[in-house]
């Protein structure tokens, strides 16, 4: 295991090697919830000419919360993000060296009466950079494989990740609901869809903070 600081250094070395061959490049920073992806992405962004896109911004907010229960684990994985909007509004413009703008889903506003989440009225705007970091669970998904140049897995034991989530989330009812819906999806994704052999780099992080 390595510290977050050492993890960011390892990742920077790998990214810089790839960036010598082509730019811009798209790097997927993937890992289970609570693995430290957001913190690492921020650390890398400060040390590298890069732009970070958070895949969580593209959560399928239009799907009513109760509908997730009726979907199988593969169906939840298939539908968890709006893959087309992520491509068209964020990744493709940045890869074309254009500014990207999108409305992120508004988690803070809570569920609406129909069980869906709304979208923020404020845009997220990102300027192009030589390195694009797509940060978030499922970011290395095969749905985006035609765009991704390098796939990184931030590997942290599940018990440690869940401890982090428990400390981070004050709404325990929400967290319990989240575990019911998404724990098995993450397990399926990282074992069946994107096992460790699917990644270009695996970084096992100690004392992660996400």
Q: pLDDT by residue (tens digit) across 70-84?
A: 999 999 999 999 999
In the sheet that 150-155 helps form, which strands lie side by side, from edge to edge?
A: 50-54, 131-135, 25-30, 150-155, 201-204
Residue 144 tokens read as 């985006």
C-alpha distances in Å from residue 209, one per residue of 23, 28, 143: 30, 18, 27
Q: Report domain extents, the chain.
A: 4-204
- The average confidence (pLDDT) of the chain is 92
The confidence score (pLDDT) of residue 210 equals 44
Compute the C-alpha angle 130/134/137, nearest 5°. 165
d(Cα 197, Cα 176) in Å, to the nearest integer?
31
Answer for the pair 30, 151: CB distance below 8 angstroms, yes or no: yes
Per-residue pLDDT for 36 more than 80? yes
Answer for the pair 115, 67: CB distance below 8 angstroms, yes or no: yes
Q: Dump pLDDT digits (tens) for 105-132.
A: 988 888 899 989 889 999 999 999 999 9
Answer for the pair 115, 177: CB distance below 8 angstroms, yes or no: no
What's the fold here for domain 4-204? Rossmann fold (3.40.50)
Strand partners, 132: 26, 51
Q: Which runs of consecutive H residues, i.e. helices, occur in the chain?
A: 4-19, 37-47, 65-69, 73-79, 83-85, 92-95, 158-168, 172-188
């Amino acid at each position: 295991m390595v510290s977050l600081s050492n993890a960011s250094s390892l990742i920077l070395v790998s990214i810089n090697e790839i960036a010598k061959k082509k730019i811009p490049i798209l790097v997927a920073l993937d890992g289970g919830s609570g693995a430290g992806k957001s913190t690492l992405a921020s650390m890398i962004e400060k040390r590298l000419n890069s732009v970070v896109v958070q895949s969580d911004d593209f959560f399928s907010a239009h799907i009513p919360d109760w509908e997730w229960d009726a979907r199988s684990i593969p169906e939840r994985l298939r539908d968890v993000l709006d893959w087309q909007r992520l491509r068209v509004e964020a990744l493709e413009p940045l890869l074309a060296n254009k500014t990207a703008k999108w409305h992120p889903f508004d988690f803070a506003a809570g569920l609406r009466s129909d069980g869906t989440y709304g979208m923020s009225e404020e845009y997220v705007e990102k300027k192009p950079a030589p390195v694009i970091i797509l940060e978030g669970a499922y970011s290395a998904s095969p749905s985006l494989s035609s765009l991704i140049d390098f796939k990184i897995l931030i590997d942290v034991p599940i018990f440690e990740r869940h401890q982090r989530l428990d400390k981070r989330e004050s709404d325990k009812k929400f967290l319990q609901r989240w575990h019911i819906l998404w724990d098995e999806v993450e397990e399926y994704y990282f074992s069946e869809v994107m096992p460790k052999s699917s990644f270009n780099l695996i970084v096992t992080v100690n004392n992660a903070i996400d």
